Amino acid sequence: MILVLEKGITQQKKSQLKSILAEQGCMVHEPGGSGQNILGVIGKNSLTREFLIAQEGVADVVPISTAYKLVSRQMKKEDTIIKIGNVEVGGNKITIIAGPCAIESREQAMIIAKEVKKYGATLFRGGAFKPRSSPYSFQGLEEEGLKILAEVREVTGLRVVTEITSPMHADLMMKYVDVIQIGARNMQNFELLKCAGRMGKPVVLKRGLASTIEEWLMSAEYIAAEGNTNIILCERGIRTFEPYTRNTLDLSAIPVLKQLTHLPVLIDPSHATGIREKVAPMSRAAIAAGADGLMIEVHHKPEEALSDGPQSLYPKQFGRLIRDIYVIAPVVGKQLIHDYTGYSAASPGSLSAESGKSREGKRVVYLGEQGTFSHKAAMQYFSSDVENYPVPSFRDIFENVKSDAAAFGIIPIENSLAGSIHENYDLLLEYELFITGELSLRVVHNLIAHQGVKIEDVKQILAPPPAFQQCRRFLDANPDMKIVPVNATGSAVKRISESGNMEDAAIGSVEAAELFCMTVLEEAIEDNPRNFTRFVVIEKQMAQEGIKNKSSIVFSTSNKPGSLFEVMKVFSENQINLVKLESRPIHGKPWQYMFYADLETDLTDSSASTDNVIKAIEQNTEFFKILGSYNCGNKRTE
């Protein structure tokens, strides 16, 4: 059951309460990040509600109706986010685990690890101990395989995942790997589950060959009951009578699990289908259904693989799939964790003394209040080790980064319906800051008001001007509603919450409505569901590491015929794809313009060809500046 504690309870009283419960034979769990002051209480004894409510500091007692307690959504309403180095599994990020079925040699592992990292994997998988149906099949390299996995981590920076098949291997796993996997055949090996719980490492728990969802969650409960709630559920298909695939992938398990448990959910389409050509479509479907990530088998020579070659993707196939996932993710409100320079720069492993700041000193600033789309973009892009902080204006974002009050800023640069945010283009020219990353966020606008308010009661709507532009049809259909501009959607929702005026409504996100205890009157009121905002990350220094496949520049040309054409000609002759061109007036020079351009290339690499491109641009411009080279995430890298 759950004990809801009184507001303002001291830590001393909470400790006393825990001691009383422990004396009664109870196991006490305090869910992290719940937003409430609660304790989960589990025990074999049957304490009465009257006994518990009588304890000092207890405000209410809520029973948990499911057999699985610690992993249930009743115990913890918020999604659990599991940290593995600088990677976070769960929440609004998508994690890609990739690698061969089995570690066959050092060379094989290194080749595949470098390939999958290049294309977007954030964790590396590979089996060292292989439970096989036949005793004559390849059983894995055992400890030698674990040593290779540890070397892969050292060389590539990818944290490693491997399967544990026996409690006797626990010490080896503790020594060499970051995440342990419990395979389908061992899902109900209860001694192994208890061992995994005591080890404390994150656990990928695969669903059994013919197990129900409740049986699966009860197995997770075994791990959690030992004190380890860092559990990632992995659906890998169940055995049915259908012969056309290896197993039957149960995608319906995703929404079911999202309702029943707070644990993150991965999909393993490789073992589910057993057929290389079926992996990509099932992966795309899994992300669309709400999965938190994928576990995919990749091999550079699958025809020579010692295990599961027919279901392993070639590296380039994997790269194409990742590109598709990058596009699909924002549609369902998630972001693919790629080799983002800004993300990795903000991650624990890359923060060093040379930066001049501790991890706690890292801050990203965004516009408005909590609950804005800018706030959501900051949370999706950055590690949770980076503090996000709101400021009242776009200029304040730039000033904070310039003065080192913040390491990063995140700004919207353009919207697919309303067009460019011109103020930020002008600020990029004004300040000596650089773009180091980007992400696209799907923007779903909702009409938000107080509980009990009906749509006909609304007299005025608060929102930033871009939101009004994106919801024009709804506003035209409700002409009696007065529009009141504010600087951000989160600010709008906060203002109507604090005012208490039942005739006021706001345009904003579901997250903002929940944050300020408001209700959604009308969902998805934007004109077009293809409503995406492109955000960019700004820093004081250019991006130094990671994949950089896009550059943003600003330039001006002489006022003579063909001058802009000469610059465009440089791009054409060097096979550089121009993906955006924007003109802005030059302040103080009427009818003269700056041109902002986005190019699919890295203008900061040290190659001779890039130097020649830059020289050619400079020869045909009066002013030229590189605003940044960074990873756009969706460019095909082949």
The residues assigned a catalytic role are: 533, 535
Both structure tokens of 102: 């089995």
3-state DSSP helix/strand/coil % of the chain, to nearest 5? 35, 25, 40
* 282 contacts: CB under 8 Å, gap ≥ 6: 249, 251, 267, 269, 272, 273
- The Cα 281–Cα 4 span in angstroms is 44
Both structure tokens of 8: 């303002």
- The Cα 477–Cα 143 span in angstroms is 68
The pairing of strands 519-522 and 446-449 is antiparallel
The pairing of strands 265-267 and 482-485 is unpaired
Cβ contact 481:536 at 8 Å: no
* Residue in this structure with the two tokens 């800004």, named with its chain if needed: 342
Cβ contact 434:543 at 8 Å: yes
List strand residue ranges (DSSP E) for 254-311, in order.
265-267, 293-297
* Residue in this structure with the two tokens 């067009």, named with its chain if needed: 419
The DSSP secondary-structure symbol of 609 reads H
Entry field: residues in the chain: 638
Both structure tokens of 27: 């196991």
- The Cα 328–Cα 285 span in angstroms is 9
Cβ contact 113:124 at 8 Å: yes
* Residue in this structure with the two tokens 């109706």, named with its chain if needed: 65
DSSP string, 353-391: GGGTS-GGG-EEEEESSTTSHHHHHHHHHS-TTSEEEEE
- The Cα 416–Cα 440 span in angstroms is 10
- The Cα 100–Cα 108 span in angstroms is 9
The candidate with the shortest Cα–Cα distance to 550, out of 439, 442, 443, 421, is 439
- The Cα 437–Cα 548 span in angstroms is 9
* 261-to-200, 229, 344, 620 alpha-carbon distances in Å: 20, 12, 29, 60
* 155 contacts: CB under 8 Å, gap ≥ 6: 110, 113
The DSSP secondary-structure symbol of 299 reads -
CA neighbours closer than 13 Å in the CB half-sphere of residue 393 = 5
DSSP string, 502-540: TTEEEEE-HHHHHHTT-EEEES--SS-S--EEEEEEEES
Residue 273 CA from chain centroid, whole number: 26
- The Cα 145–Cα 152 span in angstroms is 11
* 518-to-92, 465, 494 alpha-carbon distances in Å: 22, 21, 9
- The Cα 376–Cα 386 span in angstroms is 14
